[in-house]
Structure 1
Amino acid sequence: MTLAAEPRDPWRYRWVVLGVATFTQAAAGFFVQGIGSIGVHLQQGLELSTTQLGLLVSAAQLAPLAGLLAAGELLDRVNERWVVGIGAVVVALCLAAGGLAPGYPALLAVLFVAGIGYSAVQPGGSKSVAAWFDTSRRGLAMGIRQAGLPLGAALASAALPFLAEAYGWRATLVAGGAMALLGAAVFMACYRRPPVRSGGAARRPAPEGYSRRQLLRSPAMVRIMLSGTSLIATQYGVGVLTVLYLHKTAALAVGPAALILVAAQLAGAAGRIVLAALSDRIASGRYATVAACMIAVIAGMTVLLTPAGRSPATAAAVLIWLGFFGYGWYGPWVAAVAEAAPPDRTGFALGLAMSANQIAIILIPPLLGLLIDTSGSFTPAWGLLIAMTLTALLATARRRS
C-alpha cells in the first residue's frame, strides 16, 4: 500500500521571508549606516566640519520623518513586496546619482531623496516579518531581521574606507547604490504574503481612527517612543563618532579605528538577535530588555567620560559594549511596536514609532558635531547622550509602574 505524501507546511517559507527581509535591510542601509567609517575621507575630500558631516546623516533621515507615516498607511493597503522593492530601487538610483554630485550641497540633496525610498524599506520589512511569525517567535524573528542594519553597517565600515582610499569618496556612493538595487531585486523576486491561517476566529479590526488617537495615547506606545528616541540617539552617536573619537582622543590610526567600528556593529547585530530572543522568554520581556539596554549604554558612556576612556584598549572595549546594547535594543523594541497595535494597524504603528525616532536621528548627528566643534572635546557629546537616556529611563519606568 502506498502512503500519500505528507502535505508541505506553507509556513516553513517564513524563514525565506526572514532571510530576504534581513538582506534587503542590510543592502538598503549599506551606505548611510557606513558614513561614519569614511568620515575622515569626507572631511578631507569636501573640507567639512564635524557638524557638516553629521548633517549628511540627517539629510538621509529627514524625508522619513513624514515618509514613514505615509509608508505605514500604504503598507496597510498594498502588498509589502512593491512598497519595499520600489523604495529600495529609489535608494539605489539616488546613491548612484550621488557619485556624480559636484559638491557638498548636491550630496545633501541626493541623500535627502534617497531617504524617501528608505522610508518604505524599514517599516515594510518589519511588517512582512511580523505577519509571518506569531508572538512566541516574533521577538527572535524581529531581532534577526533588524540585525541586517548593523550587519550592513559592519560590511560598509569594512569596505567603504578601502574604496574611498583607492577610488575616492564618490565610489562609495556607487557601491551603496549597487547594494540597494540588489536588495530590491531579491525582495521583489522572493517575498510572498503569508497564507491565511485555518481555524480560529477572525481577528477583529480596530475601530476607525483608533491608530491616530488611542494608539498614540496608549501607555505602551508612549514608553515605546520615549525609549526609542533616546536609544536611537545613542546608536547614531556610536555610528558617527566612533572612528573620530578613537582617532582624535585615543590616537588610533583611521584603519584600526574603522575596524573597531566594524566590531561594534557586529556586536550590535549579535545583540539584536540575542536580546530579542531573550525578550520572548522572560516576563515583561520587551520592556525589561529595552530598559536593560538603556542602563547598559549609560554605564558605557560614563566610562568614556573618565580618563580610562582615553586608553585605546578601554575605549575599544567600551565602544563594542555600546555596539551590543546601543544597537541591540532595536530587536525587542520593534517586536513591542508590532504587538502594541491591532492586526490591521501594524503598518501605521511601525510608521508612527519610527517617525518619532527620526526626530532624534535628524537632530542628534549635527548636534553632536556642533558640540564637538565648539568645545574641542567629546565630553559634551557623550554627556548629552547620557542625559537623554537617563531621562527616558526614569520617565518610562514611572509610566510602567
Structure 2
Amino acid sequence: MTMLLPMASAQNYRWIILLIATLAQAAACFFVQGIGAISVYIQADMGLSAFQIGALVSAAQLVPLVGLLVAGELLDRFSERLVVGLGTLVVGIALSAAVLAESYWAMLLFLVLVGAGYSTAQPGGSKSVAAWFDKSQRGFAMGIRQAGLPLGGALAAIILPTVAITWGWRASFLVGGLIAIFGALVFMLFYRAPAGAVPVARASEGSLTNVVLSRLAMIREPAMKQIMASGISLISVQYGILIFTVLYLHSRLQMEVLQAATLLFVAQGAGVAGRILLAAWSDRCRSRYFPVMVCMVAVIVGLLVLVWLPLNSMFMLGCLMSWLGFFGFGWYGPWVAYVAESAPADKTGFVLGLAMAINQLAIVSVPPLLGWMLDITGSFMVGWSLLIAMTLLGLLMTIQRQGDVNESHRV
C-alpha cells in the first residue's frame, strides 16, 4: 500500500524520491547501456557479425515497443512503487538467468525478457519525479533523474570490461542482474506518493477500443509531432554512439578495448552532466524545447568532426567524445521534461510511454541497420553519415513544427 506523506515533510522527501528514482534508472539500464563495452569480447567468442551485435541490443528494446504503452497506462492507474519496482526486478532476474544461455538465440530470448521489465523503468521514474516537483524545478529534477541512464552506462563501460577480462563476459550478465535487483529493492522500500496523490478513475472512458483510439489520437497533436521528430533522430545517434564507438575506435585506430571503453565512459560521463545542465537550462528558457534543438545542431557538428577530421591524439578524441556525450546523451533531460509538461494531467504516464515507445522504433531498428551497413561496406562512414542525415532531417522538421506548437502547447 502506498504511503502518503504530510506536506511538511514533502519538501525534503522529494530529494529522496529523486535519488531513488535515479538509482533505479541507473540500475535498470546498467547492462543494456553497457553491452557495447563488452561487444568485442562477445563478438570474438561467439563469432558474431556486427549485425548480430546490434541485434543483441535491439532484443532488449523489442518488447518496450508495446510495453511502454502498457506501462504508461498502468502508471496512470497504479502506484509507481509497484509498477517500477516489479519491472526492474524482472530485469535483474532475466539478466542473472542469462548466464545460463549457451547460444546466441538463448541470449536474445533473455534480453527480450529484460526489455519486458525495462518498459516500466523509463516512464515510471519520470512520472514519479514529475509528481514531486513543480514546474520551476521540474526540468532540473528530471535532468538529474534521466542522468541515471548515462550514469549507469558510464559505470558499466568501466565495470563490465573488467569483469569480462577477469571472469569472462558471461559474468557481466550476472553483475548487471544483481545491480538491477538492488535498484528494484531500494525503490520499492523507499518510494512514497506525494500527499494528495490518488488513482485516476477511468470508468467513464467507455470501451477498451475507445480508450486505445483516444490515446493514439495524441500522435496527431503538433507537440507530439515535434517530440517524435527530435526523439527518433537523437535516440538513433545516442545508440549509434553507445554500441559502435568501441568497435569504431578499436578497428579504425587499433585502440585497445579498455582504452576505447574509457572514451565511451568519458562520453557517458559527459552525458550525465548534459542531462542535468541542459534540463536545468530548460527551466529558464522561454521555450523548454529550445535546448533540444541546440542538441540536434551540436550532434550534427560532432558527428561531422568524427567522420571527416583526423583524430590522432587522445586529448582530441576525449574532447570530441565529451561533446558528443554532453549533447548526444544530454538531450533526453529537457526532452522528457517537455513531454511530461505537454501531457494532460491525467494522462502523463501514457504520454511518456507513447513518446518513449515511438523512440523504441529507432532503438530496435537503427543498431542492426548500422551493423548491416558495416558488414556490407566494411566502413563506419556510411553509418555515421546516416545518423547525420537523420538528425538534420529531424531538425528541419522540428523547426517547421515550432509555429504549430506555439499555438498548441498541450498534447
TM range, normalised to the smaller chain? Answer: over 0.9
Identify the residue that residue 290 of structure 1 maps to in structure 2.
292
What is the aligned counterpart of 1:275 among 273, 278, 286? 278
- The aligned residue for residue 196 of structure 1 is 196
Q: Which residue of 2 aligns with 1:4?
A: none
Are residue 386 (structure 1) and residue 394 (structure 2) matched? no
- Listed as ranges, the gaps of 5+ residues in structure 2 are 1-6, 206-210, 404-411
Task: Note the C-alpha offset of 1:211.
Answer: 5.2
Aligned-residue CA RMSD (Å): 1.9
State the distance in 2 between where 1:165 and 1:43 align: 14
CA contact (8 A) 2:59 2:364 kept: yes
For the residues of structure 2 that align with 1:160 and 1:305, how far apart are their CA atoms?
Answer: 28
Q: Which residue of 1 is the match for residue 252 of structure 2? A: 249
Q: Residue 95 of structure 1 aligns with which residue?
A: 95
- Residues in 1 aligned to 2:222 and 2:280: alpha-carbon distance in whole angstroms: 24
Contact 1:296 1:325 in 2 (8 A): yes
Partner of 1:376: 378
1:160 aligns with 2:163: no
Q: How many equivalent residue pairs? A: 390
Shift of 1:312: 4.8
Instruction: Kindly state the Cα deviation for residue 213 of structure 1 after the two structures are TM-superposed.
Output: 5.1
Distance 1:211 1:276, change over 3 A: farther
- TM-score (normalizing by structure 2): 0.91
Matched residue of 1:305: which SS? helix
Structure 1 residues 352 and 251, CA gap change in structure 2 (3 angstroms)? same
Matched residue, 1:74: 74
Q: 2:218 aligns with which of 215, 220, 244?
A: 215
Contact 1:211 1:348 in 2 (8 A): no
**What is the deviation of 1:308?**
1.7
Between the aligned partners of 1:250 and 1:314, the Cα distance in structure 2 is: 13
Aligned in 2, Cα 1:376/1:313: closer, same or farther, shift over 3 Å?
farther
The equivalent of 2:332 in structure 1 is: 330
1:359-392 CA distances to partner (integer Å, 9 max, x unpaired)?
Answer: 0000111111111111111100100000000001
Q: Contact 2:266/2:318 (CA < 8 Å) preserved in 1?
A: no
2:310 to 300, 308, 320: 308
- How far apart are 1:306 and its partner, in Å? 1.0
Could you tell me how far apart the structure 1 residues matched to 2:289 and 2:400 are?
13
Q: Structure 2 counterpart of 1:360, which letter?
A: A
Structure 1 counterpart SS, 2:77:
coil
Q: Distance between the aligned counterparts of 2:216 and 2:330, measured in 1?
A: 30
CA distance in 1 between counterparts of 2:47 and 2:319 reads 31
In 2, distance between residues paired with 1:213 and 1:164? 43
Offset from partner CA, 1:321-343 (integer Å, 9 cap, x none)? 11110000000000011011111
Alpha-carbon distance in 1 for matches of 2:396, 2:37: 33
Structure 1's 316 and 335: CA in aligned 2 closer, same or farther, altered over 3 A? same
Q: Does 1:229 align with 2:206?
A: no
CA contact (8 A) 1:252 1:312 kept: no
The 1-side partners of 2:126 and 2:158 are apart by: 26
Provide the residue aligned with 2:106 in structure 1: 106
TM-score (norm. length: structure 1):
0.94
Contact 1:272 1:330 in 2 (8 A): yes
In structure 2, the residue matched to 1:39 is 39
Over 6 Å off, 4+ runs: none
2-structure distance, mates of 1:400, 1:38 = 41
Gaps of 5+ in 1: 1-6, 198-202
Alignment match, 1:172: 172
The amino acid of 2:232's aligned partner reads T
Give, as a single letter, the amino acid of the residue that structure 1 aligns with 2:189.
A
Moved more, 273-282 or 252-261: 252-261
1:169 deviates by 1.0
* Partner residue in 2 for 1:146: 146
**What's the counterpart of residue 395 of structure 1?**
397
Task: Return the alpha-carbon distance in structure 1 between the equivalents of residues 371 and 159 of structure 2.
Answer: 24
In structure 1, what is the Cα distance between the partners aligned to 2:142 and 2:53? 31
For 1:84, the equivalent position in structure 2 comes to: 84
SS at match of 1:322: helix
**Aligned partners of 2:214 and 2:329: how far apart in 1?**
28
Contact preservation (8 Å) 1:246, 1:312:
no
Describe the superposition over 1:117-147 as per-residue Cα deviations: whole angstroms up to 9, x where unpaired. Answer: 0001111111111100111111000000000
Do the aligned partners of 2:95 and 2:174 also contact (CA within 8 Å) in 1? Answer: yes
Question: 1:314: how far off?
Answer: 3.2
Task: State the secondary structure of the residue aligned to 1:196.
Answer: coil
In 2, Cα distance between equivalents of 1:388 and 1:99: 36
Identity among equivalent positions (%) equals 56
In structure 2, do the counterparts of structure 1 residues 211 and 342 end up closer, same or farther at CA, with 3 Å as the change threshold? farther
**1:251 to partner: Cα distance:** 2.2
Q: Which amino acid aligns with 1:13?
A: Y
